[in-house]
Structure 1
Amino acid sequence: MGSAVERTDEHVREYLIYRGFTSTLKHLDSEIKTDKEKGFRVDKIIDQLQHFIQNFDLFGLKEYWLYLDRRLFCRLEDVYRPTVNKLRTSLFRYYVINTIQRTQEFFQKQALELQGQVEWREWFILPFIPNPEQNPTFLPYFSRQWADTFLVSLHNFLSVLFQCMHILHGFDAEVQKMTSLTEENEQLRQMLFALQTESRDQREGDEMVHHKLPAYVQNMDRLGDTELPVSNQTSISEPASSQCQQSINQASNQSSHPRHRRIQDHEKERKELFSKPQPQKKGETGEMDLTAENPSEPPDCTSSSSRSCRGGTEGGGLSAEQPFIKLSQEEYGEHHSSIMHCRVDCSGRRVASLDVDGVVKVWSFNPIMQTKATIMSNSPLLSLEWAAKPDRLLLLGSGVGTVRLYDTDTKKNLYEMNIDETHPRILSLACSPSGSSFVCSAAALSRSGSVESVPRLPIPVSGQLLLWDTKTVKQQLQFSLEPEPVAINCTAFNHNGNLLVTGAADGVIRLFDMQRYESVMSWRAHNGEVYSVEFSYDENTVLSIGEDGKFIQWNIHRCGVKQSEQLLPQDATGPFVLSGYSGYKQVQVPRGRLFAFDSEGHHVLTCSSSGGLIYRLTSGEPALESVLLLGGHKAPVVTVDWCSALDCGTCLTASMDGKIKLSTLLAQKT
């Protein structure tokens, strides 16, 4: 009963937030705090009764019991009335025993009410007995056993009473019904999928007699043929991506474990495949393309012109040294200007992308690529971040000092927070993993008055770093930025939100303790601005990319100590340049994430002029070892992200021509 009430209260809160009834929400919260029924939680009711007894509050005890009687007990059948009366008598006796010093006061106030009741007749002598705990009549009531028995009896009585009430019975029934229907639907979907796969296997087995791919590749190539994307933005010449994603979607619905079960089912065949790399000719990279010219037919490996058995042009081979297989690459092309930010939510179901025109697209790619929402604003948008809880909420920072909380399911703004008029540019947003707060970086306008698209000034502009509460929608505090207030370009939390790392326009990295809300260390990290900063997988180091073109790994246990350093090309660190005909030239300063890690933290994805580039992190020199070029872009990539919660991880690379590529990778086991 208590859990049903809590769920209902939460739904009511979400509805009031959705409708914008903030004053009603405040009244609801205040009344919940003073709720005498304690949300039908028996333990809370027992605690309240004991609180009255321990504080000698006889009036409060009587009023509370009368309330329970009017609200609950009076609705019971007459057969239960003697039980209620016995519990009431025991409650008052429990009060008398625990307040023996005030027994005379009790009987003076209750004399008129109790003198005619047989069960209280002999109790009037209690105040006049020198040692009542030794009297045979009252001895049992002074024992701990009687008190425990009474409290357990009252607890059980209330529990049974609440279980028999039908206030929220319909709600619980609907929840259980929806759960069972969802489970049944999933089982039927899996049965249908298995039948389709079996039928297609039989048909393909009859048609294909000249060659057969390894079993594991066959199974992977068949996943979800009936749900291939047909959008103009989706390449259907490489079906393995949506096929693999379909299997992941099924596994994620069955289990909360981040490794999907379909890959585990084929683990043995997978190892056999990897242990027997395909023979390569001299000069070939050894990449096996899992697609064919006709997506409905298996690739013909007997032909000398077949791409399926020849090396690819961008790495990703099947040799034991390759950490990933590049399954496919799809394109999202709904933007018409350069991308600034592109982020996947924590569940891997949605992507939010923001271009320099201030247009935000919310879209999904599993099982097919589809735009869910388009957000346009009168004021320029400069930053975005997914909320951690619930992950359907999106934070949008503007160039006029506001942050919006947007619900991507209902496609409505929930709140618009006025951050700071003197620092209107919201450069970075980071939501705490707990979901209760977010950090907001606000900066002043540049000297030219522009809010974006021009190289930053040599002298960093002023800025603030603020902490906001997402529930109360109020600013909690302003962080101290030493040695002077400066614009913070990038922010990142560790896995539990206890640490926050920031990179600033003055080239300084600052590490904040979020338990004490203060900076624990800071150091000069780059000559120029810090563009992007992240915690390592083990959180013992911080990695950063700066204006000086360096990728540096810092030891957070020893302030300012480098563990590794490597100089990257300009197309990985920015500023990014796009040249065109007649001397056209577009320059973009980095705004979004410049690097992202895989699920194990051993590999890092960076930007390049023609697509994403994956490096292996090493402990020696050089710090980065190139392993795979994703390619596919005709304009410089300006921001990246890596959704790696599952084996079929998806790399997102966004470029200056507004194109976003989704490269689906399969991690090889070593």
Structure 2
Amino acid sequence: MREYLKGFMDNMQYAEELLREFLVFRGFTNTLQSFEKELSTDIGRNFQVDKILDLVFSVYLPNYQADKLIALLNFFKQRFSSSSETVFISTLSKLEVSILRYYIVNALQSARHEKVVEFFQANGSYLLQKREDWTPWFAIPYIKNPSLDPQFRVYFSKEWFDALHLSFRNFLSEVFNGTRIPALLKISTEKNTVKYLKDGIKQLNNKLSQLQALLETKEAEILYLQSLAPSDREASVLKEINSISDLSSEASSKDDGVSSRVKDFCEPVNDSLHIGEKITTANCGESSGSTGVLDKSTVAKSSSMAGSGGQSPSKHEKSSNVLQMAHTENTIDVLGEEEFPEVKVDFQETFLGHTSRISRCRFSASGMNIASASVDGTVRIWTYDSSTPTSRNATIYCGAEIMSLDWECRSDRLLLIGTADGGIKAWNVDAKRVVCDLSTTTEFPSVLDLKCSPVEPIFVSAAASRWNGFHKLDRAGFASLTVWNMKTWKAMTVLPLGEDPPAITSLCFNHNGKILAASAADGMIHMFDMSAGLQITGWPAHDTAVSSLLFGPDETSIFSLGSDGKIFEWSLQNQGRVLWSRDCSRYCFPESLKICRHEIALDSNGKRLLVTSGSVRSPIYQVQGHTLGLRTLPHSGAITSVDWHPTLPIFITGSADHSVRVTSII
């Protein structure tokens, strides 16, 4: 559902740009101004029933615009062309008769008999062609008291009007819930499909090149072994066995720290291994005493060596085991984050529009725009793709340190900004203006986090009673969790946290907006039922303050990052159970807390976890599967904020060097 909405919003924004271009080309400047005005007041409601009802009953009928009313009704009838929609056509025809009759009744009640006469003069032929009996209605302008006439009395009653209004509302709701997407919104579908296919072809070509290079290497090894004499091949194998045995003896003399390090990085989430898992897992398991499983390439290589050397089966087994031990030793050497391989970059863009340290950076819900904030109170909205329109680019001056950013994901038009002085601003990117400027209570001046519901027009703010800097997250005072209505821009309720609760540091909604997770400065994670406005559960997750949390990809787990650098994935089905963990304290060390509030970000597949860093590089941990992690390319300062594109393998990193970098990886 989320991907469908995201694609729909992409198409809608593309269609809006096309419409702007067309209006400018034709010189329809007045229409363009009206169009922009409508967009600036809209917060993302598609197919609004209330607007159609207001148009009919508050504009067309009171102003006696019969031609526009009939045109609107005919437009709706033209939208239903298939045989499966005949029931809608029949219902709409009945509603049309009632609405037109109410037009006549409304004119008579307002003593505008001339409007009734004009109506019949303009539309008499049209009405007589219909099956409904309109003949008696042609006499109604000449009846002295039509409201008392038995034939027309019911149409003058309030009950009949209320029933008509409700029936039309229900009809529109039913139609819009299952409506077809307008043709204009389908224009970008083919464009997006072609782009997706091109990206797929590029990735497949890269993978093909890698496999071809690997194949050439293996073929060269086979040719080399075949070129040796039998005695030379046997001597070569024995030399390799002795060399690897020495490595194994040396490794066995290392202290227990290496063993625990291997276990930390390679121990799978499940208790048992399965056939088909990557060789790294099997090798790491062997280093702790269990039996490993070689992949096909290793087995093939061992068999080839044994056959060419005339080895007996026992020698073949020994060679395979020793070769596997060598693979294990190599795996140990690359397990540290500082030795993770660098990401393979497809493209990279660097934004240099800030003049101070980056505090937050976020992709919009569509991924087309980026909002980045710096500690000097400046927010920049920009795009990394040259094919994306720059009409939304803007600079927002907030006058205080920016502590939180979040995009309203239903419309992709609103950006919420939370500041250290208790301010919450709503910026409309199409209108390029602040549409609402809120303030928290004076008791809670620091807005540590903001999160918009993915479904409802609401957002939640986490405010703290004081702010002493990132390195004193556990001293941020007391917490206040407020739910705000994005229609009225007023506070709806305050979520209960108990007496003198520690500051809430991070928020996240689940996919349907029914559950809100909140992390606290005392290491707790709280879960709230948003429909009831009550806390439903909670558990102690860290010994230190929790600086960031987010739901897992399947909504059955939740990730948390402590200020001590420990990362946990918690099961939501078996509360308190840790499914996966990592210690990235070498990146989230105490000194780094002076310049940033560390956070984590998951990619769209939920397989890669990106973490902020006190170093110039950030680690990217592999959450699912058992492959090794990656490292980002270096900034020239600490990495203070991270985020992933909502659908693509693209991430952003904001840095203390004032830059924001967009990286697309292969």
Shorter chain as normaliser: what TM range? 0.5 to 0.7
User: Match of 1:524?
Assistant: 540
User: Match of 1:611?
Assistant: 617
User: Match of 1:189?
Assistant: none
Q: Per-residue CA shift, 1:333-384, capped at 9, x if unaligned?
A: 2222211101111111111111111111111110289892211123443221
Q: Give the TM-score normalised by structure 2.
A: 0.57
Q: Per-residue CA shift, 1:83-129, capped at 9, x if unaligned?
A: 5896346899xxxxxxxxxxxxx999327999xxxxxxxxxxxxxxx
The amino acid that maps onto 2:37 is Y
Are residues 277 and 595 of structure 1, via their aligned partners in 2, closer, same or farther at CA, if it must alter by over 3 Å? farther
1:336 to 334, 349, 355: 355
Matched, 1:508 2:444: no
Matches within 5 A, 1:178-257: 179=184, 254=190
Q: Per-residue CA shift, 1:224-267, capped at 9, x if unaligned?
A: xxxxxxxxxxxxxxxxxxxxxxxxxxxx7635669712134467
1:415 to 436, 446, 449: 436
Q: CA deviation at 1:536?
A: 0.6
CA contact (8 A) 1:651 1:663 kept: yes
User: Tell me, what secondary structure is at the counterpart of 2:564?
Assistant: coil
Matches within 5 A, 1:16-415: 18=40, 35=58, 40=72, 46=94, 70=116, 73-74=119-120, 76-80=122-126, 82=128, 87-88=133-134, 109-110=148-149, 179=184, 254=190, 260-265=196-201, 269-277=205-213, 325-367=344-386, 372-415=393-436
Q: CA deviation at 1:480?
A: 0.9
Q: CA deviation at 1:665?
A: 0.5
User: Tell me, what secondary structure is at the counterpart of 1:538?
Assistant: coil
2:634 to 629, 632, 635: 632
CA contact (8 A) 1:571 1:636 kept: no
The amino acid that maps onto 1:35 is S
Matched, 1:598 2:598: no
Q: Give the root-mean-square deviation of aligned CA atoms.
A: 4.8
The alignment covers a number of residue pairs equal to 450
Q: Per-residue CA shift, 1:557-613, capped at 9, x if unaligned?
A: 233222223222242466516xxxxxxxxx22406xx22122211111123312222
CA contact (8 A) 1:576 1:638 kept: no
Q: CA deviation at 1:70?
A: 3.5
Q: CA deviation at 1:63?
A: 5.5
Q: Per-residue CA shift, 1:175-199, capped at 9, x if unaligned?
A: 98xx59x96xxxxxxxxxxxxxxxx
The amino acid that maps onto 1:411 is K
Q: Provide the C-alpha distance between the structure 2 equivalents of 1:373 and 1:88, rounded to a whole number of angstroms.
A: 58
Q: Per-residue CA shift, 1:375-420, capped at 9, x if unaligned?
A: 1123443221111132132111122322111123332111112332
Q: CA deviation at 1:555?
A: 0.9
Structure 2 unaligned segments of length 5 or more: list them.
Answer: 1-18, 20-29, 43-49, 62-68, 77-90, 139-144, 154-163, 173-181, 222-333, 335-339
Q: Per-residue CA shift, 1:641-665, capped at 9, x if unaligned?
A: 111513xx22211222212222221
Q: Provide the C-alpha distance between the structure 2 equivalents of 1:258 and 1:555, rounded to a whole number of angstroms.
A: 39
Q: CA deviation at 1:541?
A: 0.1
Are residues 653 and 33 of structure 1, via their aligned partners in 2, closer, same or farther at CA, if it must alter by over 3 Å? same
Q: Provide the C-alpha distance between the structure 1 equivalents of 2:633 and 2:114, rounded to a whole number of angstroms.
A: 70
Matches within 5 A, 1:556-571: 556-571=572-587
Q: Provide the C-alpha distance between the structure 2 equivalents of 1:563 and 1:618, rounded to a whole number of angstroms.
A: 11
Are residues 87 and 485 of structure 1, via their aligned partners in 2, closer, same or farther at CA, if it must alter by over 3 Å? farther
Q: Per-residue CA shift, 1:515-541, capped at 9, x if unaligned?
A: 323222111111121100011111100
Q: Provide the C-alpha distance between the structure 1 equivalents of 2:211 and 2:111, rounded to a whole number of angstroms.
A: 75
Q: Provide the C-alpha distance between the structure 2 equivalents of 1:628 and 1:557, rounded to a whole number of angstroms.
A: 30
Q: CA deviation at 1:513?
A: 2.1
Are residues 576 and 267 of structure 1, via their aligned partners in 2, closer, same or farther at CA, if it must alter by over 3 Å? closer
The amino acid that maps onto 2:149 is Q
User: Match of 2:501?
Assistant: 485
Q: CA deviation at 1:545?
A: 0.2
CA contact (8 A) 2:357 2:374 kept: yes
CA contact (8 A) 2:552 2:559 kept: yes
Q: Provide the C-alpha distance between the structure 1 equivalents of 2:56 and 2:534, rounded to a whole number of angstroms.
A: 32
CA contact (8 A) 1:443 1:487 kept: yes
Q: Provide the C-alpha distance between the structure 1 equivalents of 2:117 and 2:577, rounded to a whole number of angstroms.
A: 67
User: Match of 2:661?
Assistant: 661
1:441 to 455, 462, 468: 462
Q: Provide the C-alpha distance between the structure 2 equivalents of 1:600 and 1:424, rounded to a whole number of angstroms.
A: 36
The amino acid that maps onto 2:606 is G
User: Tell me, what secondary structure is at the counterpart of 1:260?
Assistant: helix
User: Match of 1:147?
Assistant: none
The amino acid that maps onto 1:536 is G
CA contact (8 A) 2:479 2:503 kept: yes
Q: CA deviation at 1:11?
A: 9.8
Matches within 5 A, 1:469-480: 469-480=485-496
User: Match of 1:15?
Assistant: 37
If asked which structure has higher relative contact order (CA below 8 Å, sep 6+), I would say: 2
User: Tell me, what secondary structure is at the counterpart of 1:664?
Assistant: strand
Q: Provide the C-alpha distance between the structure 2 equivalents of 1:413 and 1:511, rounded to a whole number of angstroms.
A: 32
User: Tell me, what secondary structure is at the counterpart of 1:455?
Assistant: helix
User: Tell me, what secondary structure is at the counterpart of 1:456?
Assistant: helix
Q: Provide the C-alpha distance between the structure 2 equivalents of 1:67 and 1:557, rounded to a whole number of angstroms.
A: 70
Identity %: 24
Q: Provide the C-alpha distance between the structure 1 equivalents of 2:581 and 2:117, rounded to a whole number of angstroms.
A: 70
Are residues 80 and 513 of structure 1, via their aligned partners in 2, closer, same or farther at CA, if it must alter by over 3 Å? same
